DNA sequence: ATTAAAATGAAAACTATTCTTATTGCCGTG
DNA sequence: CACGGCAATAAGAATAGTTTTCATTTTAAT
């Protein structure tokens, strides 16, 4: 499964790529910075250089295998792209990320954009929240 | 008007701060990166160090005088905070930023967050669009 | 197996931003 | 108006996340 995805992206199937993709597949819905992923790989006895992590994540992103997000302005995080679009809520106290999908919200965005004579290409939406 | 705002923020009224605030006031609704602002100041014969620009923008942000946005992941931009909340559309072709406010969108966000048992603290929303 | 093309690790380079340090400028008090 | 204290400044060094370079290794197609 994963090997095929890498090949379909026009990339060679290498150990680093397999190990990174496998880890993200095993942790769907979780978000990792490049550095965090680097540490996880080390912990799993996979010796991958940080530069390779960055390179592979970028390649995976353009291939549509992973999504990149920027919850905090100074560090990007990545997650497996499951193909199902969703937005994020970030608990400002705990840092926990909650994924959600709201059809009404999606429709509303398209409507707003069209009212201005545009077409919606992409969007970025993060709600910063706090437990009541 | 502007002097008072700086004072109310607990900051001393200095030339750099006045010049930066004046420029942003004269260009409401436009967005400037620190570097761009630095160049604008130089062009206006105001000799302000880049570090000062960053420092002052941060202070203005915590004082609520300016808003910081991150349309492109590697560079923050700032605009005068007029007190009226709005979101942004970015034309992916021209780079043009369109500000908009949609009451329904705001309400919907609160609703979504409350359904999960949270309180909305802040949000970030950018629609990437293209001319039809 | 052979071999060209692509991928890797390590270190250097880059870029936006922040910090350090010595100096300057604001402002309340006398 | 002069003084002294302390915040603000400029300049450049430092930092952190990320990207690039380059020599070496690995992949995959024959």
Could you tell me the CATH number of the domain that includes residue B35? Answer: 1.10.10.10
Does the nearest atom of strand C lie within 7 Å of B110's Cβ? no
Cα B71 to Cα B90: distance, rounded to the nearest angstrom:
8
Contact A27, A47 (CB under 8 A): no
- Residue A70 shares a structural domain with residue A124: no
- Residue B6 shares a structural domain with residue B26: yes
- CA–C1' nearest nucleotide, residue B11: D7
Determine the distance in angstroms separating the CA of B9 from the nearest CA of chain A, rounded to an integer. 24
Residue A65 is classified by DSSP as S
* Chain D bases near protein Cβ (<7 Å): 7-13, 16-21, 26-28
Residue indicated by tokens 């100074």: A74
Domain that holds residue A119: 87-129
Does the nearest atom of strand D lie within 7 Å of A39's Cβ? no
- Residue B75 shares a structural domain with residue B115: no
Cα B82 to Cα A70, B79, B85, B101, distances in angstroms: 26, 9, 8, 13
Question: How many domains does chain A contain in total?
Answer: 2
Determine the distance in angstroms separating the CA of A131 from the nearest CA of chain B, rounded to an integer. 5
* A53 CB-near residues (< 8 Å, 6+ apart): A16, A20, A34, A37, A38, A41
Confidence of residue B2 (pLDDT cuts 50, 70, 90): confident
pTM over 0.75: yes
- Residue B75 shares a structural domain with residue B96: no
Cα B81 to Cα B67: distance, rounded to the nearest angstrom:
5
Does the nearest atom of strand C lie within 7 Å of B15's Cβ? yes
Residue indicated by tokens 């095993």: A26
Q: Note whether B132 contacts A118, CB cutoff 8 Å.
A: yes
- Residue A70 shares a structural domain with residue A9: yes
Determine the distance in angstroms separating the CA of B111 from the nearest CA of chain A, rounded to an integer. 11
Residue-level pLDDT at A2: 82
- Residue B68 shares a structural domain with residue B119: no
- Residue B18 shares a structural domain with residue B73: yes
Confidence of residue B1 (pLDDT cuts 50, 70, 90): low
Compute how many other C-beta atoms are within 10 angstroms of the C-beta atom of residue A109. 20
Confidence of residue A1 (pLDDT cuts 50, 70, 90): low
Reduced DSSP (H G I as helix, E B as strand, rest coil) percent helix, strand, coil of chain A, to 5: 40, 30, 30
CATH code for the domain of A123: 3.30.1490.190
% of residues, chain B, pLDDT over 90: 95
- CA–C1' nearest nucleotide, residue A77: D17
Q: What is the gyration radius of the CA atoms in chain B, in angstroms?
A: 17
> Is the per-residue pLDDT at B7 higher than 60?
yes
């Amino acid at each position: 499964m994963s090997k095929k995805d890498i090949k379909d992206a026009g990339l060679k199937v290498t150990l680093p790529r397999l190990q990174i993709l496998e880890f993200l597949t095993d942790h769907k819905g979780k978000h990792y910075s490049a550095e965090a992923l680097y540490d996880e790989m080390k912990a799993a006895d996979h010796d991958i250089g940080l530069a390779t992590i960055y390179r592979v994540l970028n390649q995976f992103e353009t291939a549509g295998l992973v999504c990149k997000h920027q919850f905090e302005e100074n560090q990007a995080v990545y997650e497996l792209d499951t193909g199902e679009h969703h937005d994020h809520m970030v608990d400002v106290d705990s840092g926990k990320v909650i994924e959600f999908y709201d059809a009404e919200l999606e429709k509303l965005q398209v409507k707003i954009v069209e009212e201005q004579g545009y077409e919606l290409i992409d969007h970025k939406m993060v709600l910063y929240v706090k437990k009541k």
